[in-house]
Structure 1
Amino acid sequence: MKNKLAEFRKQNKYSQNRLAELLGVSRQTIISIEKGKYNPSLPLALQIARTFHTQVESIFF
């Protein structure tokens, strides 16, 4: 699954570490999602979308 997580993260001036802390996951998880090597669970995808005040479809496609 492709995603725009890195774009959203950078636009909001979050480091990978800070985003990981906010979401309760590891920095490695954020890196893997951004690289498309890991697809987040639905609850995590929803949490990511809420963090950026957008819809899941705006980040993941």
Structure 2
Amino acid sequence: MENHVKKFRTEKNLSQKELADYAGITRQTLSLIEKSEYNPSLKLCLQLCYALNKTLDDVFWIEQSKGETEDEKN
């Protein structure tokens, strides 16, 4: 799942460890989420959004290219 976690974490000058601790996860899990190698649960998405003071749309909504559908991306 693509996301903007790293972008917002760095804007807030937080280390991976600091954000992970705040969200109640390991730094390794956060690293995987930032690299889109781990799909977090809705609960974890909400924890990250709360920690970053952002909405789900801000962090996890990735706009598709004009005319591109989800099927075309896969």
Runs of 4+ more than 4 Å apart: none
Unaligned 5+ residue runs, structure 1?
Answer: none
Quote the residue 1:10 is aligned against: 10
Q: Highest relative contact order (Cα 8 Å, sep 6+), 1 or 2?
A: 1
Unaligned 5+ residue runs, structure 2?
Answer: 62-74
Between the aligned residues of both structures, percent identity stands at: 39
Alpha-carbon displacement from aligned partner over 1:10-54 (angstroms, at most 9, x marks no partner) = 000100011111111110001000000001110110111111222
Choose 1 or 2 for highest CA Rg: 2
Query: Normalising by the residue count of structure 2, what TM-score does the alignment of the two structures yield?
Result: 0.77
Query: Normalising by the residue count of structure 1, what TM-score does the alignment of the two structures yield?
Result: 0.92
Q: Report the RMSD for the aligned CA atoms in angstroms.
A: 0.8
What amino acid is aligned across from residue 60 of structure 1 in structure 2?
Answer: F
